[in-house]
Structure 1
Amino acid sequence: MTRKILLSTVAAIAMLQPLAVLAESVTSSPVKSITLSSGGLAEIRRTATLDGNGEIRIEVPLDQVNDILKSLVVFDANGTVKDLSLAGPNPLDETFKNLPFTPDDLTALPKLLMSLKGSKVTIEGRNKGAGTILGVETEKRAEGAEATFLNLLGEDGLISRYELDGASTVKFDDPAVRAKIASAVAVVGSNVTDTARNVVVKIDGKGKRPVEFSYVVAAPIWKTSYRVVVGADGKARLQAWAVLENATGEDWNDVGIVLNSSSPVTLTQRLHERYWKHRDELPIAVDNVGIPEADRGAVRNLLAKSDFGGGARASQTVPAMAAPMAMAEATVAESPEMSYAQSAAASEGDISATFKLDGTYDIRNGDTVSVPIVDKEVAAELVSLFRPDRGDSHPISAVSLENTTGVSLPGGILTVYDSKGAYIGDSSLLGLPNGDTRMSSFALDKKVNVETKTNSGIKTVEIKVVDGVLVTKNVMREETTYVIHGAADAERTVLIEHPKRDGWEFQSPDLNGESASDYRLKVKVAKGETHEVKAVLTRAGGESYQLADLNAADLAQWSSTSLDPVIKDKLSELSRAKKDEFETRRQLERAAEEHNALQASQERTRENLKVIPAGSDQQKEYVQKLSDIEEKIDQNEATQTQMRETLSKFTSRVDDIIRTF
């Protein structure tokens, strides 16, 4: 079936230039098929007919020569690729490289004459003459005008000066010089429109046979647009359309079109440019070996006739296409199955989907075409989607689509219609693998309101002691309550996406599924109804403490938390022992401080006695005071001894309790 499509241009994208192909004894080589990749490439396949040896000429845009050299592949079962050739990247430079004048010299006669000094010319016009060019000079006239003069050496040896005015014409006598000038002018003219190259592929083969070839070039990315009509029975009609452009610069006639959703790695390389490796110059060592002066002339004549004496130079031109053609020939010989690009309609690959459009198409250059590629009934449902992290109390209207088409669908814009066929919004459909489900939001549902309440806490569920270490098992719990106030006019299916947390367990009576990042809670809310949805996240944890490091208050707290009566009593006993030990230690510390103060007072009293007169009443008072201090010191030291014994007993008791836990 051939479809004749003549559409007005929607978008003219001229990324590709015309590609006209000719071959020996072949009048045309039309496009047979085109595979468009969503990666922005087009694989163009053409066909031609050869009889025996022949060549295929492909005119390609200059900016696509690199892609042609990179990707051109020839399919010929009864032939082999001989070589591929095309003009160099800079024909203008190549032409003038061996000419005595430059393109700029061609813009003015005085410049051209100066560059060709020594050439014989004939002047016609008011000032006639002939001779060999010596040079061109200019003079300023009195009125400010500038005059140009040509100096010629005549055959009689006289030098003549000829003014070049508007009526003067100059003819170069040497036909070779005239030919070089004409050729250079032609190259300059063609360089103005130097936008293409003729790539010539020579093929040796036998018999009359079809020859196919393909190449990959840049192309506009084909797009996908979707229409979905959501029914009331959980089904929907999903239609996918491909939007593509013919931007090849030529009309397509009876062309098969294949669309590929892959995004391949795409590279380019400047294969059409020349690269020269820098070489250091090695100077020639010249030794004077005493050749007689009479013989030096003969040596110079011999060198002048040889290639080393400055005459003919060895060519340094490298055939730029040798390596690419060797690769192309090897590819044809080893991988004739490359025609795999022509695949079946709606086929699923490992990493992409391929769509082969039905029949062939006639599409004018520059036109945009939109063609349906999928038309299937799929599972679908309209929901009010709420996400707490959006910061909005209103959910968004979304359509949930399950891809049951049998092929993965590329991403694209989605237009949503309700069961009555009325437009209700636009959305973006991300790439939808076969068998997967996606939700696409398209509007804000202001008729539904959702309140979010969260409570959190930590509960100790187990306490045990192992080798003097208190080990606790805790449960962190976060409960979220979603209070849904339904729409006043109709029932709603509300889908809440509750965010996941790594390491946490989730519970909800309304759990309906999950994605990579969320739990999905689904409920139906009747019109005007208020409905609560609970979501609980829990996480088990634990802590450990050295019993010896815990104080009495901490132990009393853990004792009140423990559910095991044995552990509870032991912790309570240890708490009391820790408290007795702590209080005794504090009393001992206060006694030690008092002892230090008494010793300081004793020392001051002794120092004062040294300066008080002997036998005085004041001396007697200080002696009594010193005696009282010493008595108190003795009492303090006795008290400390008793306290240390008590502390030792309490410490032993603490150690015994911990040891016997």
Structure 2
Amino acid sequence: MLPLAKVRLYESGVGYFERAGELRGDGAALPVPSAHLDDAIKSLVVLSRDGSVEDISFNSRLSPAVARARAGLPPDADEDLSYGALLETLKGASVELRVDGARVRGRLVEVAEIAPGEVGYVSEASSSGKRARGDDDDASDAAVKPSPQLFVTLYTQDGEFTRVPATAIDTLRPIDASQRRRFEAALEAQETTGYQTSTTMTLDASTQGPVRLGYLAEAPIWRTSFRLVFDDAGASTLQGWALVHNDTDEAWDEIALELVNGRPDSFLFPLAAPRYDRRGLETPERELSSIPQLLVTTPDAQWGDFADTWGGLSGTGSGYGSGSGAGFGGRGKRVPQVRQAKAAASSRTTGSDLLTLGDLATLAGATAKEGETVFVYSARRPLSLKPHRSAMVPFLSESIEATPIVRFASMSHQARHGIRLVNDTAKTLPPGPVSIFGGGGFMGESTIERLKPGERLFMEIGDDPDTELESEVNSFKVEHAKAVVYKSYSDELEEHYLRTREFTLTFTNRSGRAREVHLALDISRNARVEGADGLDYDSAADQPLAIFRLAANDNKPRTLVITEALKTVTSRAAIRESSLRELAAAENVPAERRAVLSKAAELMRGVKTAEDARDDVGKKLETAQQDIERYREHLKAMGDGERGGKSPIVTRLLAAEDRLGKLREELELAEDGVTQANAKVGEELAKLTSDGQRIEIKP
């Protein structure tokens, strides 16, 4: 057997198992758990010096249904299998019975249940010849009533038929070895714990010399945990440990262990069990029987000699039928209700894509490095691991850039201890929990997501009761209409503007040591921040960070000024005349654009007039509908007495229906008027297109 030389584990739940050794011209063996056989067939790779491999053989693995069928067992493994049903599967087979210590050989003819009094019934006591006598035997004999028993009919090697109660059989063994193998195959196929059974793949090769042979198989996912350790000088070291599991029945003896932090695609594919396709059945035009005509009858019996006839009934028949049906529920006619559809009106505020103050998100890429994302970590020394045991294997120990910080999630949140971690190593760090140690003890815990070289991570590890923050808004200023743009493809009007806020921040540092405070800002990335000691960007939270470096017992106030480039996007349905006039009056808007906005405002007055006219017609139409409903209810209440054509109610109903028809025509014209008025506004606003040039805002 080729020894295991290397195991490479992946994050996608598979492992590559490689064996290496010397071939001496007599082939090699590869033990594979039955559950891994499909994977091994799919991915087996053989590498030898001259590449001359003749074949790779293994015992065929049958599907449970096929294996049970070949053994004569029911195809459904969940179906209850009684002792009698098991004996039925051996009908016609040569068996050996052991009854009362004696061995009897023969062919099993029949398994049947016989009631007391029927021919061939043998009591259990008489068949065994043994009875345990007691003082109350007479009473028990009278109380016990014989019950039907299962009997086995055997045709012995001496040419005799014998009947044996099934309860008297101590053991039963099929004589035919192939029969026994079929039962064993059925049991192996039924076994659900594939890891507990093994299949040997045999490599037949005339090659002599070194060979490497490997395959892919399911394997436990390797997982990581980290330790971040700060020394007394503040330097930090990241230790990485991998948790690996040997869930096989084979010991890993001095193997090379490799860990891959990638997820290559892999899938299950059934290959090991033989599969069969289905063929169509073609039959001769003339029907031919597989049973001889005179097997159980004679010509005389067929002709009609009923005294000697073996009776049988047969019949054929066919029938055809079809039916279909459909039903429709009736409903009373009602006058259609008018539903006036209106476009959804909305307005939202987001970062401006025309005004440029600066992209704070670029701070996150200031130290990014280009390099590979998927890496292979190799264990420092060969690994020995017994079957079904786990091990923690160190795979990383490097200095890393890490800074203890105090983090505020907002100006109103409590302070939290944290760590700013920058992956300045050359490899991607896989995800996992991290425990932080420093100052002679434990500092806290967090998690590391997959971190590429150059990327940074901000972790919170515990509460900080020694640092507090009070904030106050000093001023709030909005510079409206730095740019006004209309997007025809989305029917939206954009107002780009600047918003400036000034805050007074008062930090309280009672820790007795210097602190680096990171304040998360709920602002857009297109912004300018002044007054902080530094800036950073949390890519995971998509938030800019203002950094303040506090000396010990530092309580002096800080002034923070935030200017954001924003835009308000208003849908066409939400645009109002008043908002257009406000934009037209803004000093920042060029004169030609103010003229467009003023004209659009005048046209919006026409839209309002058209909408009022449409709504007025709609109210009249609704009143007409209500009148028609009321007249019909009156007619229904009067019955047949006043249903003539001269009834006043009928006259009013007909007049109301005529009026309803005219109102519908008026409503359609009014809707067209609203559409045309809106189109004129859209045509005018379309003149406010953008040339795509960004407007840089100087400090």
The two structures have a TM-score, normalised by structure 2, of 0.55
**Mapped pair 1:400 → 2:402:** no
- Residues 273 and 489 (structure 1 numbering): CA distance in 2 closer, same or farther, change over 3 Å? same
Distance 1:542 1:179 in 2: 86
In the alignment, the residues of structure 2 paired with residue 269 and residue 447 of structure 1 have an alpha-carbon distance, to the nearest angstrom, of 59
- The range that moved more, 110-119 or 62-71, is 110-119
Which position in structure 2 is the counterpart of 1:496? 519
2:506 paired with 1:484: yes
Deviates more, 1:37-46 or 1:362-371: 362-371
Residue of structure 2 equivalent to 1:196: 197
CA distance in 2, matches of 1:430, 1:153: 74
Q: 1:443 aligned to 414, 437, 462, which one?
A: 462
Q: 1: CA distance between counterparts of 2:256 and 2:282?
A: 60
Deviations 1:540-592 (CA, angstroms, capped at 9, x unpaired):
76999xxxx999x969x977x6499x98xx99xx9xxx9xxxxxxxxxxxxxx
Deviation at 1:35?
1.2
Amino acid at match of 1:49: E
User: Using the alignment, how far apart are the partners of 1:232 and 1:367 within structure 2?
Assistant: 37
Amino acid at match of 1:531: P
Structure 1 unaligned residues grouped into runs of 5+: 1-21, 23-28, 289-347, 465-470, 579-661
Contact 1:123 1:168 in 2 (8 A): yes
CA distance 1:160–1:127, change in 2 (3 Å)? farther
Match 2:378 to one of 356, 359, 379: 356
2:31 corresponds, among 59, 70, 74, to: 59
Equivalents in 2 of 1:255, 1:501: separation in Å?
53
Name the CA shift for 1:170/1:226 in 2 (closer, same or farther; >3 Å): closer
- 1:240 is displaced (CA, Å) by 2.1
What is the CA–CA distance in structure 1 between the aligned matches of 2:229 and 2:495, rounded to whole Å?
53
SS at match of 1:255: strand
List aligned pairs for 1:513-528, cutoff 5 A: 513-516=536-539, 517-526=542-551, 527-528=553-554
One-letter amino acid of the structure 1 residue matched with residue 417 of structure 2: S
SS across alignment from 2:41 = helix
* In 2: Cα distance, 1:62 partner to 1:360 partner: 27
Q: Is the 8 A contact 1:246 1:368 kept in 2?
A: yes
Q: Per the alignment, in what secondary structure is the counterpart of residue 385 of structure 1?
A: strand
Aligned equivalent of 1:286: 286
* Aligned: 1:531 with 2:557: yes
Output one character per residue of 1:29-86: Cα deviation in whole Å (capped at 9) or x when no partner.
Answer: 221111122222221111132123x333323222211211222111112233323332
2-structure distance, mates of 1:406, 1:531: 41
Cα distance change, pair 439–119 in 1 and its aligned pair in 2 (3 A): closer
2:211 is matched with 211
Q: Deviation of residue 99 (structure 1)?
A: 6.5
User: Aligned pair in 2 of structure 1 residues 109, 169: CA closer, same or farther (>3 Å)?
Assistant: farther
In the alignment, residue 56 of structure 2 is paired with which amino acid?
A: L
Cross-structure match for 1:35: 8
Determine the structure 2 residue equivalent to 1:365: 387
Task: Say whether the 8 Å CA contact 1:38–1:261 is kept in structure 2.
Answer: yes
- The separation in 1 between residues aligned to 2:104 and 2:253, in whole angstroms, is 64
| TM-superposed deviation, 1:383 | 1.0
Secondary structure at the residue paired with 2:115? strand
Does the residue aligned with 2:521 lie in a helix, a strand or coil? strand
- Aligned residue number for residue 144 of structure 1: 146
1:477 Cα shift?
0.7
- Which residue of 1 is the match for residue 693 of structure 2? none
- Aligned 1:499-648 pairs, distance under 5 A: 499-501=522-524, 504-510=526-532, 511-516=534-539, 517-526=542-551, 527-539=553-565, 562=587
In structure 2, C-alpha distance between the alignment counterparts of 1:87 and 1:408, rounded to whole Å: 43
Deviation of 1:107 (Å): 7.4
Tell me the CA shift for residue 398 of structure 1: 0.9
Return closer, same or farther for 1:508/1:283 CA change in 2, 3 Å cut-off.
farther
The answer to whether the Cα contact below 8 Å between 2:32 and 2:201 also exists between their aligned partners in 1 is no
Measure the CA separation in 2 of the matches of 1:35 and 1:234: 36
Corresponding letter in the other structure for 1:514 = Y
Cα distance in 1 for residues equivalent to 2:69 and 2:483: 94
Amino acid paired to 1:30: P
**Residue identity (%):** 17
Kept after mapping to 2: 8 A contact 1:72/1:213: yes
Alignment of 1:189-268 (within 5 A): 195-206=196-207, 208-230=208-230, 235-268=235-268
Q: CA deviation at 1:243?
A: 2.5
> Could you report, residue by residue, the CA deviation over 1:421-479 in whole angstroms, capped at 9, with x for unpaired residues?
32111111222211222222101222222234555443257799xxxxxx999633141
Separation in structure 2 between the aligned mates of residue 156 and residue 405 of structure 1, nearest angstrom: 86
Instruction: Describe the shift of the 1:283–1:535 C-alpha distance in structure 2 as closer, same or farther (beyond 3 A).
Output: farther
Distance, in Å, in 2 between the alignment partners of 1:45 and 1:106 is 43
Deviates further, 212-221 or 111-120:
111-120
2:689 corresponding residue in structure 1: none
Whole-angstrom CA distance in 1 between matches of 2:237 and 2:102: 90
Q: After superposing the two structures, state which structure 1 stretch, 370-379 or 517-526, moved more.
A: 370-379
Change (3 A) 1:450 1:187: same
Counterpart in 1 of 2:333? Answer: none
1:486 to 1:408, Cα distance in 2 relative to 1, 3 A: same
Cα distance between partner residues in 2 of 1:126 and 1:205: 53
Q: What is the correspondence of 1:418-457 to structure 2 with a 5 Å cutoff? A: 418=438, 420-453=439-472, 456-457=476-477
Alpha-carbon distance, 1:403 to partner: 1.9
Q: 1:287 to 1:170 in 2, by over 3 A?
A: closer
The Cα of 1:101 is off from its aligned counterpart by 7.9
- Note closer, same or farther for the CA distance 1:73–1:160 as it changes in structure 2 (3 Å cut): closer
SS of equivalent to 1:66: helix
Letter aligned with residue 116 of structure 1: K
Q: What is the one-letter code of the residue matched to 1:384?
A: V
TM-score between the two structures when normalised by the length of structure 1 = 0.58
Q: Aligned Cα RMSD in Å?
A: 5.0
* SS of structure 2 residue aligned to 1:362: strand
2:52 aligned counterpart, secondary structure: strand
2:39 is aligned with what amino acid?
A: D
What are the ranges of 5 or more consecutive residues in structure 2 without an aligned counterpart? 118-143, 289-369, 485-492, 571-575, 603-699
| Aligned partner of residue 536 in structure 1, secondary structure | strand
**Match 2:53 to one of 81, 96, 105:** 81
Call closer, same or farther: CA 1:201–1:456 in 2, change over 3 Å. Answer: farther
How far off its partner does 1:209 sit?
A: 0.6
Displacement after TM superposition at 1:244 (Å):
2.1
Q: Which amino acid aligns with 1:285?
A: E
Aligned counterparts of 2:247 and 2:97: Cα–Cα separation in 1: 54
The 3-state SS of whatever aligns with 1:350 is coil
Structure 1 residues 619-658: Cα deviation after superposition (integer angstroms, max 9, x where no partner): xxxxxxxxxxxxxxxxxxxxxxxxxxxxxxxxxxxxxxxx
1:381 partner letter: T
Higher helix share: 1
Alpha-carbon distance change, 81 to 537 in structure 1, aligned in 2, over 3 angstroms: farther
Query: Within the alignment, does 1:49 sit opposite 2:22 as a pair?
Result: yes
2:400 paired with 1:378: yes
Supply the distance in 1 between the matched residues of 2:151 and 2:162 (Cα, whole angstroms): 6
CA 1:537–1:114 in structure 2 vs 1: closer, same or farther (change >3 Å)?
Answer: closer
| Kept in 2: contact 1:412–1:429 (CA 8 A) | yes
1:39 counterpart letter in structure 2: S
Segment drifting more, 401-410 vs 69-78: 401-410
